[in-house]
Every structure is written in C-alpha cells, then in structure tokens.
A and B are shown apart, each in its own frame.
Chain A
C-alpha cells in the first residue's frame, strides 16, 4: 500500500484512553513522517505502552483518532494494520511452537505468500543469527533470542510502520548494535519506526525526533538540539529530567 504524498506514516489526533478514573493517555497528538525514527520517552506509568497499544489495535481509544498511512484505525482496522508491525515489551511468542513454525504462522497472519515468506525468514534468521535454532521451541530460547525472534516476526511481512516497546531488552551488546544498525538502514529505505525506551542513550543515538510524555500528555517534542535549547542540559538525560520536572 503506497500512501499519497504528504500523508504521515502515523498520526494520533487528540487521543484519549481512560482506565476507570485514571486517564492513561490525555489528548495526545503525534505525527510521524515516512522514514522517521521517533523515540517516545517518559517516566514509569507515563502512558508510553498504552499509546503503543492504542496504535497497534490492542486497545480502543475513548476519544480521538489513530491513522496509519492515512487510514483511520477505527474505520478500517484491518487495512490500517496491514502495513504495521508491533513488538511489545514481552515478546508475543508461543512457547510450544518451533521458531520456524512461529514465523510461518506470523507470515500467514499477514497473508505473505509462502515462497516469499520462506525467503524472508531465511534472510531474517541469518541476519539475527538464529539460523541454528530454527527448529527449537520458542520457550527454549534465551530472553535475548526471543526478543530477536519477535523482531524477525515483525519484519517478515516487510512493514512500513514499526512500533517497538523497549526493543533492546535482553539483547547483548553485539546483537543490540546489529539491531540498531539494521533499523537505521531500514528507515533510510522508508520504514517508519516508533519506539519507547528507558535507555536514553539509545534514543539519543538513534532517534531523529524525540517525544517526552508524562501523565499521558506530550510534554515536549522535537530534535535533540531543539529540546536542548528549550530545556537546557548537555545530554538527553538532562533534557528528560528537566522536562519531566517542569511537567510535574
């Protein structure tokens, strides 16, 4: 699906999500261009994961609109989800499926033709160094390998928008570097990445733009230099602490 020129890859307009009396996401507005690498930061309980779950379709917003490549997720959820991939913080695996069976299943969910899925699976498994474990049950993989498998599954249908919740959890330094490099390469080819993380160093190095949310509201947004200019501080850590302190 090719979006019309000028259509953002991802757009959240005045999105609200409540859990009882708690407002988890409060009139949140986000707009990501194609090929953008966007980091969503915030303290614990700020609403990052809820935001990502709203985008992925796991939660329904109480108000507002979520659009993926110009398609309203409430009006046409299946069409909106087709170009999207979501990797939650806990890898969504089936413990008793073999690694290759899991990829086959996920490819089937996105209706990837068998031949293309096989080729893609081979590429991804090679790149993520999971080839030797392809017939292993998912539950027998280490946490880092499970995270890599979840990433491979997210990429098997060649998504245009990738939503990642703490994507580097459990990865060793070597694997984390490979994943970061690969994601940057993919964004240069047009993939849009939205990720949440607590590792500010990663956000600082990877993200083109950074958003800071607190109490479900977007406190600050922009490039690192813009945020520095606004909130002061030499590093993203300083910016983050200053912004969240001001928000409190």
Chain B
C-alpha cells in the first residue's frame, strides 16, 4: 500500500524513520533485528522470573496484578521522563521543524503528527517494562494481562496530554525560550524527586498483606486505580481509561496549538551580549585544572546534557525498588550504586572522550595523546568515584559488607565503562548528540548490548556478592573482559589518531 505523501500517517512514518536512523542505523538489518529480538525475549524471561520467583504464589490474579501494576507504575514514570525529553525535542525545538513549517501542510496535521510520534516514543518505553510482564503473565495462563497493552497506550496518551498542557502553560507564562529551559530543568528534577519518594517510602516500607509495600500500594491506589481495574478485565474501567486519555489529548491539542505555533516560529535567541569585559578574570595555566573545568563546564552549561546526566541514576532506582520485593535493601543499594556508577561513567565517557567537541584543536596541541586521554578519564571518574564512595559509606553504616561490595563494584563499573570508551571510541559530534539526546551512538547493536550487559553485570555481581552468593564474583570476572573485547573489535583504531 502506498501512502499519500503529506498524509498524517506518512508524516508519522517519516518521523519515526528519522528517529530510528538517529540511533545510528541506516537500515533495518537482519542482525539488528535478531539482536534486539533476543534482548526482548530476555526481558520477557526476566519479567516472568521476577513475577514468579519472589512469592511463588502467582496463583491468584490479584497478587499478580499487583505486581503488574507496579511495573506499570514504573512504566508511567519512565514514560513521563522520556515524554518530556521527546516533547521538548519534537515540539519545542523550532529549527528541526523548519522544513515542515515551510511546506504547504496544514499546521494541525503537523501538530498531530508530532503528537503521535511523541506518543509512540513514550509508549515504546513500555516495551521494556509493562509489556514483558504482561506477556509473561499471559503465557503463564492469564490472558487478561494482555489488557496492559491498551491500558499503557491510554497512559501514554495521558502523559502526552499532561506534558503538552504543561508546555502550553509555560509558553504562555514564560515565553518560548524560557519555557524550553524550564522544561529541561523540570525533566532533570524528576529523578531526584522520585529518589526522595523512594527513600521516604523505603523508610516506612512495611509489606502489606498482599505482598506489596505500602507506599507502592498507596501510589498505585492513587495513580493506577482505574488502570488497575482495567487490567483485571473491567471493560468499563478500560473504556473510561481510553476515553479520558483521548479527551485529554483532544482538549490539550485544541488549546495548545497556539503556543505550539508560537514556539515553532520563535528560534532560540542568544542572550544579549554581556558587556562585562572590565571584570577581571583569574587565569590559570595548570593543564589538569583547565581540562577538568573545560569538560565540566561544557556539560553542565548545556541543559540537554546536564538533564540527561541527572537522569542516568533513574534506572538504578529499579534495583532499589526490586530489592524491597526480592532481597535486602542493602543488596539492592549495592546493585543500584554499581549500576548508577556504570551508567554515569558510560555517559560522561561518551561525551568527553568520543564526543570531543574540538578534536582538531586537541590533535594539534603539543601534549601527548595519552596524557589528554588520562585527563579526560580523570574528568569522568573523579565525580563518579566520589559519589560511589559517599553512597557506599551510607550503605556500610547499615551493612559493612554490602558497603564494601558497593564500593568495589561501583568503582569497577565506572572503570570498565570508561575503559570501553578509551578502548573503542566512536567519535561523533556533540552537537548531534545534544540534538537527539543520549541515544545517538554509532556503535553496532552488539556493541551497545555488550556495554549494557557489562553495566548490568556489575550490578548483578554486586547484588549477589552483597547477599553472600559468591558466584557473583564469576559475573564480575566475565564483565571485566568486555573492555578488552571492545578494544579487539575497535574498527577505528588505525583511522583515528585524533587527540
């Protein structure tokens, strides 16, 4: 079937194709599909194991649904995060839309296409959260779990509507440029707020009669009442969810169109030139200090990068959350620390080492490349190791062994993730990096997965070792090999002298 050029579906498909290619894939190869399919199956297996393992009482649908509701809650949070990032990029980044705006397409169609793409991106997060749990539940003999699909779609629509409404309000109240900045900072603040919520609830986290913790039960009760009823097969609740989502989306789209239009027509204006040239500045000549300040200034002054940096610990919260269900808090904390350290170091390493903004400058300086790389590693590792040490100390106060494991595995994960960037840098432009957030890496799917597995491996090793399961050391041994494997696979080794 050939789609009519300029139609809504045509626009959405083009946009999704561009998003896919921004991940580094120019076409959908069989190997990419195979690797992602394997990963997807693995997620399903993990979901089934997690649902079945802890209580071994999945016989009642109510308890199973409670678990699924928790997954959905996480999914909702993740959708909210990704939704905000996607919203700012899709709706608020004027230059990206210049072509569409200059075309004779109606504005409403452009808006709807962006909103639909936004919803698809938001909903795709559920591929990794609620969907595996729902599929596993269905395969285990509870087909009603498949209702998670329409329910999560309704949630995606609500998240989209919520962020659109907020964006419209901010644009009206603050103007377009400030609204963009405010949205970035809101996105950045959300993981912190969630972290606080987790710890507050963890403190009062007595298990409820149904096996869930009180805070999750309460949160699910407030946020997920209708979706949870819909998940049990309540047709009325399901219809209500979908109706409310559609209504919210329509209302917001109806009233957000004007600020949206305004945002498209208002480019990011540079601030007025500052005439503060008389203000003295203290010059430094220490290369190490200059390098560290350069690396950190260029990250923290870029809202997109800074927000993405603050979001990295988000996934680690999953370990804390699961630890409340499956294990001790200390073991979960050790795993969370290792995971966070790995993610942070990987993110910072890719920014500072692979996405060096001015390789042409550094290539020409009379400083050995090895020293430049060392300085970059220090810029990456110093803050991560400091954070790991502080967090490990907090864990050690409750459980000294778990604190020690957290310190060792956290440092190990950070060093391994940095070593991967040093061993196999994949240079790319930081400008394109910021334009497409932190998804753009021109590594093969196998490389990407191996890095993710390595970081997860450190977290799993920490989890098991903190629980005195010594075979966790075996996992650690395996993941230590990943940077060496990456070095062996590095196709850029000869081509790049670089800095």
* Residues in chain A within 8 A of chain B (CB atoms): 19, 53, 56-60, 77-82, 84-86, 88, 90, 92-97, 100-101, 104-115, 117-118, 131-137, 139-140, 153
Chain A to chain B contacts (Cβ below 8 Å), 13 pairs: A58-B364, A60-B497, A80-B366, A81-B366, A85-B364, A92-B358, A92-B359, A95-B298, A106-B361, A108-B286, A117-B285, A135-B274, A139-B270
A153 to chain B, nearest CB (A): 8
Task: Enumerate chain A residues within 8 angstroms of B302, measured Cβ to Cβ.
Answer: 95-96
Contacting residues of chain B (442-499) with chain A, CB-CB under 8 angstroms: 495, 497-498
Take A105-B294, A109-B367, A118-B283 as given contacts and tell me if A140 and B361 are in contact as well, using a CB distance cutoff of 8 Å: no
A59 CA to B284 CA, complexed, in Å: 30
Task: Verify B285–A107 contact, CB threshold 8 A.
Answer: yes
Complex alpha-carbon distance, A204 and B368, angstroms: 38
Q: Is the interface of B mostly helix, strand, loop or mixed?
A: loop
Contacts A114-B283, A131-B277, A132-B273; A57 near B363 (Cβ below 8 A): yes
**B285 and A105 contact, CB distance less than 8 A:** no
> Which residues of A have CB within 8 Å of B362?
109
Question: Quick check: is B193 within 8 A (CB to CB) of the other chain?
Answer: no
Please measure, in the bound complex, the distance between the C-alpha atom of A203 and the C-alpha atom of B123, giving whole angstroms.
Answer: 58
Contacting residue for B285 out of A79, A86, A108, CB 8 A: A108
Q: How far is the CB of B257 from chain A (nearest CB, A)?
A: 31
Q: In the complex, which residue of chain A has the Cβ closest to the Cβ of B368? A: A78
B residues 350-403 near A (Cβ < 8 Å) are 357-368
Q: How far is the CB of B268 from chain A (nearest CB, A)?
A: 10
| A19 partner residues in chain B, CB cutoff 8 A | 495
CA distance A19 to B297 in the complex (A): 35
What's the minimum C-beta distance from B381 to chain A, rounded to whole angstroms? 21
Minimal beta-carbon separation of B106 from chain A (angstroms): 34
Q: Chain B nearest CB: distance from A144 CB in Å? A: 15
Which one of A78, A108, A135 lies within 8 Å of B290 (CB-CB)? A108
Chain B, 276-307, contact with A by CB distance < 8 Å: what is the 0/1 string? Answer: 11010101111100110110011101100000
Q: Are A108 and B279 in contact (CB under 8 A)?
A: no
Nearest 8 pairs of A and B residues by beta carbon: A92-B358, A92-B361, A96-B301, A58-B363, A140-B270, A108-B290, A114-B283, A82-B366
Please tell me if the beta carbons of B273 and A133 are within 8 angstroms of each other in the complex.
Answer: yes
Decide yes or no: A88 and B360 within 8 Å by CB, A58-B497, A94-B298, A105-B294 being known contacts.
yes
Instruction: Decide if A109 touches B301 in the complex (CB within 8 Å).
Output: no
A96-B297, A107-B285 in contact; A58/B360 too (CB < 8 A)? Answer: yes
Separation of A153 and B360 alpha carbons in the complex (Å): 13
B254 within 8 Å of A by Cβ?
no
Report yes or no: B365 in contact with A110, Cβ–Cβ below 8 A.
yes
Residue B271 at the chain A interface, CB threshold 8 Å: yes
The answer to whether residues A97 and B360 also contact, given A59-B497, A78-B367 and a CB cut-off of 8 A, is no
**Minimum Cβ distance to chain A for residue B42 (Å):** 36
Asked if A114 and B301 sit within 8 Å, CB to CB, the answer is: no
Cβ of B235 to closest chain A Cβ, rounded Å: 53
A84 to chain B, nearest CB (A): 6
Can you name 14 extra interface pairs (CB under 8 A) apart from A114-B285, A131-B277? Answer: A19-B495, A56-B364, A58-B364, A58-B498, A93-B357, A101-B297, A104-B283, A108-B291, A111-B287, A112-B285, A118-B283, A132-B275, A137-B301, A140-B271
By beta carbon, the residue of chain A nearest B276 is A135
Decide if B365 touches A94 in the complex (CB within 8 Å).
Answer: no
Q: Which residues of B contact A (CB under 8 A)?
A: 270-271, 273-277, 279, 281, 283-287, 290-291, 293-294, 297-299, 301-302, 357-368, 431, 495, 497-498
Please give, as numbers and ranges, the residues of chain B lying within 8 Å of A153 by CB-CB distance.
361
Q: Contacts A118-B283, A133-B273 given: A81-B294 contact, CB under 8 Å?
A: no
Give the Cβ gap from B359 to chain A, nearest Cβ, in Å.
7
In chain A, what residue has the closest Cβ to B369? A77
Contacts of B281 in A (CB 8 A): 100, 104
Known A-B contacts A104-B290, A108-B286, A109-B287; A56 and B363 likewise in contact (beta carbons under 8 Å): yes
Is A57 a contact of B497 with CB atoms below 8 Å? yes
B379: min CB distance to chain A, Å? 13
Contact B274 A136 (CB under 8 A): yes
Q: How far is the CA of A108 from the CA of B299 in the complex (A)?
A: 20
Decide if A113 touches B364 in the complex (CB within 8 Å): no
A101 to B, closest residue via Cβ: B297
Which of B279, B290, B360, B362 counts the most chain A CB atoms within 10 A?
A: B360
Distance to closest chain A CB from B362 (angstroms): 8
B363 and A97 contact, CB distance less than 8 A: no
Q: What is the bound-complex CA distance between A113 and B367, given in angstroms?
A: 16
Determine the distance from Cα of A22 to Cα of B441 in the docked complex, in whole angstroms: 26
Q: How far is the CB of B48 from chain A (nearest CB, A)?
A: 46
Closest-CB distance, B269 to chain A (whole angstroms): 10
Is A81 a contact of B284 with CB atoms below 8 Å?
no
- Tell whether A132 pairs with B298 under 8 Å between CB atoms, given A114-B283, A114-B284: no
A247 to B174, CA, bound (A): 61
How many whole Å from A112's CB to the nearest CB in chain B? 7
With the chains together, A182 CA to B431 CA distance in Å? 32
- Distance A81 CA – B366 CA, assembled complex (angstroms): 5
User: A107 CA to B281 CA in the complex, in Å?
Assistant: 14
Shortest CB distance A141–B (Å):
9
| Most A-side CB within 10 Å, residue of B275, B277, B291, B299 | B277
Chain A min CB distance to B315 (Å): 26
Inter-chain CA distance A53–B359, complex, in Å, is 11
In the docked arrangement, what's the CA distance between A104 and B290, Å?
Answer: 8
Task: Collect the chain A residues with CB atoms within 8 Å of residue B498's CB.
Answer: 58
A60 cross-chain contacts in B, Cβ below 8 A? 497
Inter-chain contact B277/A97, CB cutoff 8 Å? no
Q: Bound complex: CA of A107 vs CA of B277, how far in Å? A: 19
User: Which of B277, B297, B366, B367: most chain A Cβ within 10 A?
Assistant: B366
A137 to B286, CA, bound (A): 22
Q: Which residue of A lies closest to B294 (CB)?
A: A105
Q: Are B360 and A92 in contact (CB under 8 A)?
A: yes
Complex: how many Å from CA A7 to CA B281?
40
**A108 and B366 within 8 A (CB):** no
| A79 touching B273, Cβ below 8 Å | no
The residue of chain B having its C-beta at the shortest distance from the C-beta of A108 within the complex is: B290
Report the Cα distance A193→B359, complex, angstroms: 22
Task: Determine whether the beta carbon of B366 is less than 8 Å from that of A110.
Answer: yes
Rounded to whole angstroms, the CA-CA distance of A100 and B367 in the bound complex is 21
Q: Given A58-B359, A60-B497, A111-B287, verify A84-B364 contact (CB < 8 Å).
A: yes
Instruction: Give the Cβ gap from B12 to chain A, nearest Cβ, in Å.
Output: 32
Report B480 CB to chain A, min CB distance, Å: 31
Q: Which of chain B's residues have a CB closer than 8 A to the CB of A53?
A: 360, 363
CB distance from B279 to the nearest CB of A (A): 7
Measured CB to CB, the nearest residue on chain B to A136 is B273
**A100 contact set on B, CB distance < 8 A:** 281
Contact of B358 among A56, A85, A93, A131 (CB under 8 A): A93
